């Protein structure tokens, strides 16, 4: 029998608590022939290779336009529409689901978009290690997994340390736009944001705002509507 001392156990527990709980579970998902081609041929053009050094955003987009990061773009339908509507803004789109990445690559090609780049990695790790302080003009997180069961709440992306990380990476005046169809998650987000002190809510009553014109409908939003869920757009400005 292995005898684990109290000190060893304490140090294991500390390691455990430092380990980052991921906000996603990688789904296998089948790739269409078009998505396979896109991942082979288009990824080298629009994908950001995994590495550990910080990203040079000006070099990646070949200009110094404001950079908006979208976290968890799903199939990218909202992403390509936002990018097409705002050619003067750069979109750094982050997702881990391969078929969704393939789908967005095809849309980038179809619409000839020059202002979208895709990172295929955990957005938390990307932010921590590869995004320099105060370089993001905006962050969009549409319909993040709500993890409704209490025992899964620790997987929710929106938590105080994550919001502190975003605050560090966002420029003063930058806009953080979240949307969810899960009311208890919207309440949780409002509480975390209220306690952060780094952001101010656009809504005069401190709640949700009407859907801003810049957000196209997303796949998960449509699913939520079919299920009779509401939609809560939460918009904040990075202060100071
Ligand atoms: C519920 S879906 C919503 C997708 C899309 N925004 C929409 O509204 O249709 C959430 C997405 O976020 C992605 N995701 C969750 N946590 C992530 C993380 N830490 N980094 C990158 N993507 C993440 C998941 O893979 C999933 O595709």
Sorting pLDDT into bands at 50, 70 and 90, what band is 6? low
Residue 230 has what pLDDT? Answer: 93
Domains in the chain (CATH in brackets) are 27-238 (3.40.50.150)
> What span, in angstroms and rounded, lies between the C-alpha atoms of 175 and 139?
6
Residue 223 has pLDDT above 70, yes or no: yes
pLDDT for 4 equals 45
Share of the chain above pLDDT 90, in %: 89
Is residue 168 exposed (0-12), middle (13-18) or buried (19+ Cβ within 10 Å)? middle
Question: Which residues have C-beta within 8 Å of that of residue 115, sequence separation ≥ 6?
Answer: 61, 65, 83, 86, 87, 89, 90, 91
Question: pLDDT at residue 17 above 70?
Answer: no
Amino acid 234: pLDDT: 98
Assess contact for 179 and 143: CB atoms under 8 A.
Answer: yes
Q: pTM value?
A: 0.92
Give the whole-angstrom CA distance, residue 48 versus residue 239: 30
- In this structure, what token pair is assigned to residue 136? 């993001």
Q: Say yes or no to pLDDT of 237 above 90.
A: yes
Q: Is the CB of 95 under 6 A from ligand 1?
A: yes
- Measured CA to CA, the distance from residue 91 to residue 103 in angstroms comes to 16
Mean pLDDT of 85-103: 98
One-letter-per-residue 3-state SS of 125-159: HHHHHHCCCCCEEEEEEECCCCCCCHHHHHHCCCC
Q: Is 122 in the pocket of ligand 1 (CB under 6 A)?
A: yes
Q: What is the mean pLDDT of the chain?
A: 93
Ligand 1 pocket check for 144: Cβ under 6 Å: yes
- Which pLDDT band holds residue 1 (cuts at 50, 70, 90)? very low
Q: Strand order of the sheet with strand 47-48?
A: 47-48, 116-119, 90-94, 67-71, 136-142, 170-180, 232-238, 199-201
Instruction: State pLDDT tens for residues 117-167.
Output: 999 999 999 999 999 999 999 999 999 999 999 999 999 999 999 999 999
Tokens of 12: 């294991």
**Of 113, 93, 109, 92, which Cα lies nearest the Cα of 101?**
93
Can you give the pLDDT at residue 20?
A: 82
Residue 108 scores a pLDDT above 60: yes
Q: What is the pLDDT averaged over residues 173-201?
A: 98
pLDDT at 158: 98
Could you tell which of 82, 102, 145 is best to mutate to test the pocket of ligand 1, judged by most ligand atoms within 8 Å of the CB?
145
């Amino acid at each position: 029998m292995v005898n684990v001392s109290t000190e060893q156990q304490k140090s294991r527990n500390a390691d455990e608590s430092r380990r980052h709980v991921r906000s996603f579970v990688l789904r296998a998902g089948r790739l269409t022939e078009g998505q396979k081609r896109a991942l082979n041929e288009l990824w080298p053009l629009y994908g950001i290779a995994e590495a550990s050094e910080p990203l040079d955003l000006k070099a990646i987009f070949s200009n110094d336009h404001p950079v908006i990061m979208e976290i968890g773009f799903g199939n990218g339908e909202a992403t390509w529409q936002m990018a097409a509507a705002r050619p003067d803004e750069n979109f750094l789109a982050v997702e881990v689901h391969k078929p969704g990445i393939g789908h967005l690559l095809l849309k980038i090609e179809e619409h000839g978009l020059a202002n979208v780049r895709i990172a295929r990695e955990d957005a938390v790790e990307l932010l921590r290690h590869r995004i320099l302080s105060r370089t993001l003009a905006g962050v969009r997180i549409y319909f993040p997994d709500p993890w409704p069961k209490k025992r899964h709440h620790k997987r929710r992306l929106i938590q105080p340390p994550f919001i502190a990380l975003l605050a560090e990476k966002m420029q003063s005046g930058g806009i953080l736009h979240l949307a969810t169809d899960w009311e208890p998650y919207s309440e949780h987000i409002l509480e975390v944001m209220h306690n952060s002190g780094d952001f101010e809510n656009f809504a005069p009553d401190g709640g949700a705002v009407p859907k801003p014109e810049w957000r196209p409908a997303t796949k998960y939003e449509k699913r939520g509507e079919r299920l009779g869920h509401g939609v809560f757009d939460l918009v904040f400005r990075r202060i100071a």
